[in-house]
Chain A
Amino acid sequence: MDIELMINSFPKLLNATLITLKLLSVSLILGLFIGLGFAILRMNNNKLINKFAYGYSYIFRGTPLLVQIFIIYFGLGQIEYLRTTFLWVVLKEPYWCAIIAFSLNTGAYTSEILRSAFQTIKTGYLEAGKSLGIPSKIIFTKIQIPIAIKQSLPAYGNEIILMLKGTSLASTVTLMDLTGVAKYIISTTFKPVEVFIVAGGIYLFMTFIIHNVIKYLEKKYGFQT
């Protein structure tokens, strides 16, 4: 056990954790909007729109995240047309490619979580809102969304942790996130166990915090339906 290496690599790994957290928070926020959009499309009565939203979530949940990142990072650059548009500014940066892939991926899972949350809302609440003469837009934003958020908290907490682990794939497109730096230290020192303990410890600490924050929110907003 090389304690010195563990102490020396700790600040480097901690620095890389910032990139991991940045990737995680940006893609979660974007993914939440994407997920909400597709959840609404999924509940649309039009069959075509419904199928489209289902296909999106099926494809992104049925393929590995690694394939998605590689298609966006290596694949899209191949389309000549894209290189001439402003999108190229975004797509040539591995950072943004990773964020696009993560957001689309977490968006697909979030849309499923939100859809099932929306569908379990008792029709009585909506009917009560309607009979009070509340416009349907306000029913949606003031009744449906808050209840759906409460009901999807446990599942969404799991999704945040899965996404935290997913950000490690950013290291495959040259980003130096926590896993990327850990791999670099391992491959230069050949001390995998020590580095794994430190990097794994940082990941576990983050998982622990997320888990407890979600638990706290569940308690605070939790209610019986």
Chain B
Amino acid sequence: MELLYFGDKGWGDELFFATLITIAVSITAMIIGFIFAALFTPLKLSNNKFLNSIGNAYTTVIRGVPELLVIYLFFFGGSGAIMFVASIFGYNDYIEINAFLTGSFSIGIISGAYSTEVFRGALQSIDKGQFEAAKVLGFNKYINFFKIILPQMLRLAIPNLSNVWQITLKDTSLISVTGLVEIMRQSYIAAGSTRDPLFFYSFAAVLYLMLTFLSMQLLNRLETKYSKGY
């Protein structure tokens, strides 16, 4: 237990902050994922064949390729791509992007592919009559979407989105390979310096279990809130 003391003696405070980083990365990735989902869900539902195939390519490629490979792509390719863009504007120094941003972005793209599928499914299972009724009543497009379609879509999407959240949370452990000090990386460092990997990796497992358990409790509450009236 001494290993978990806060301060210089133990690893308690380091692991605590690492847990906060894991939570921060997961939330950022989830939000980036929502942005991607907002862009690609309309493409997937579009009648235009070209736009449709772009949407399908995104979800198929990202969901068919290992997360680790996507992370390596952005980890090794990210600063190269930004330096290339910068060189067009005449800036030729080496640019290193923040590990937090690379990590959140790569996990966000992965999480976005899953979210896209969830939103697509939810939108498709809303009764057609709802769209027609809104049209007949003469609501404009925004009220139509934000007040009628979106609340119904969220109710259908939330159970699946909580699955996406669990996947995203667990995927953040993979960005430890890029050196970002989250739970996994911190446990690796602690295990290396104390030569007690069994304890620290088991403790990391406990931390992840706590995170998944607590977030499930919260999400279940959200689910009941949104399914009020059903």
Given A172-B177, A192-B77: A59 touches B205 (CB 8 Å cut-off): yes
Of A28-36, A123-131, A142-150, A163-171, the one contacting chain B is A163-171
**Quick check: B80 and A190 within 8 Å, CB to CB?**
yes
Number of CB contacts from chain A to chain B under 8 A: 114
Chain B interface extent, by class:
35 or more
Contacts of B73 in A (CB 8 A): 192-193, 196
Contacts of B61 in A (CB 8 A): 200, 204
In the bound complex, what is the Cα–Cα distance between A66 and B173 (angstroms)? 7
Contacts of A78 in B (CB 8 A): 195-198
**Quick check: A192 and B65 within 8 Å, CB to CB?**
no
In the bound complex, what is the Cα–Cα distance between A192 and B208 (angstroms)? 30
**Quick check: B80 and A165 within 8 Å, CB to CB?**
no
Of A42-50, A67-75, A108-116, the one contacting chain B is A67-75
Contacts of B197 in A (CB 8 A): 70-71, 74-75, 78
Contacts of A70 in B (CB 8 A): 184, 187-188, 197, 201, 204
In the bound complex, what is the Cα–Cα distance between A208 and B64 (angstroms)? 8
Chain A: residues with Cβ within 8 Å of the partner, total of 40
Question: Is residue A225 within 8 Å, beta carbon to beta carbon, of the partner chain?
Answer: no
**Partner among B63, B171, B173, B201 whose Cβ is within 8 Å of the Cβ of A75:** B201
In the bound complex, what is the Cα–Cα distance between A190 and B73 (angstroms)? 10
Question: Is residue B68 within 8 Å, beta carbon to beta carbon, of the partner chain?
Answer: yes
Question: Is residue A25 within 8 Å, beta carbon to beta carbon, of the partner chain?
Answer: no
Shortest distance between the CB of B112 and any CB in chain A (Å):
16
In the bound complex, what is the Cα–Cα distance between A164 and B176 (angstroms)? 21
Shortest distance between the CB of B70 and any CB in chain A (Å):
8
Please encode chain B, from 188 to 230, with 1 for each CB lying within 8 Å of some chain A CB and 0 for all others. Answer: 1001000111100110110011001100000000000000000
In the bound complex, what is the Cα–Cα distance between A75 and B200 (angstroms)? 9
Question: Is residue A97 within 8 Å, beta carbon to beta carbon, of the partner chain?
Answer: no
Shortest distance between the CB of B60 and any CB in chain A (Å):
7
Q: Hey, which bits of chain A sit against chain B, CB under 8 A? A: 58-59, 62-68, 70-71, 74-76, 78-79, 161, 164-169, 171-172, 179, 182-183, 186-187, 190, 192-193, 196, 199-200, 203-204, 207-208
6 A-B pairs closest in CB distance: A168-B66, A75-B198, A192-B77, A64-B173, A74-B197, A207-B64
